[in-house]
Structures are given as structure tokens and as C-alpha cells.
Structure 1
């Protein structure tokens, strides 16, 4: 679960960068929201969770950026 969560976080950063680039050159609609697909249900539940559990405390804070992006409806 940890590896999938970290990979999803890194993919989300790239996805947001690419989304901004495509919107800047008017290649996509300003209203569109990019979608990140993944199949690990544990990682998805951790991303969508509004509360931090004790279990994933060892995951570095920088990887929790994906949770913020989902809550802000950026991905």
C-alpha cells in the first residue's frame, strides 16, 4: 500500500503539472479535472480519508500532497 501511495503522489504531481501546461496553451478546457487511475483499494481509502491514521505515520509528509489535491478537487 505504501509503494502505491507514494507512486500515486508522484504521479499526481506530474498530472497537475501537465494539466497546467495544457490549460496554458489552451489545449484543454479550463474546467476539466484530470483523473488519476489506480487499483490499490487501501491506497485509495488513505487518499480519500479526511483523517490521518496512526498506521501511515512513517510515510513522509511530502507524499501526503495527493490527499490535499483530492480534497481541493484538483485531481
Structure 2
């Protein structure tokens, strides 16, 4: 279902005061191990909007797709 090297828009559920809320974020799949996805967001340098946006650090995460907090993922087409 997930392909390493592809970017996906992930929707997860997060706890909030009023109950669960959906959160969306873009991640690139680095590796797949059963239900576990190794995800990464590359570091940025600011690009063409460097004067407005600060550089960001690389982020990594392992997401369990069998978790009750995983909602969905949609491939990002370029």
C-alpha cells in the first residue's frame, strides 16, 4: 500500500479538550515494516521565501498504521 520514497498526506487523530481532532501533515515514507511506517520530512533552507520563513530541521517519525489514532493517508501527486 505504501511506497518508500513517495510523499503522502497523513491524517491522524489527536486528543483535545473537546474530544479527538484530526490533524493533517505531509511526510515521505522512508521504509515499511509491517504496520510500521518510517516517515521523514526533509530539512528546509527557506527557499524563495527565505526572508519570511526560517529554516526547519529534518524530522523523523515511526507511525503505526494499526493504531486507533491513524485515520488515512493519501499519496501526493506531483
Q: TM-score range by the shorter chain?
A: under 0.3
Larger Rg: 2
Higher normalized strand content (fraction of residues): 2
With structure 1 as the length reference, what TM-score do the two structures score? Answer: 0.22
Bigger helix fraction: 1
Higher RCO structure (Cα 8 Å, ≥6 apart) = 1
Q: TM-score, normalised by structure 2?
A: 0.22
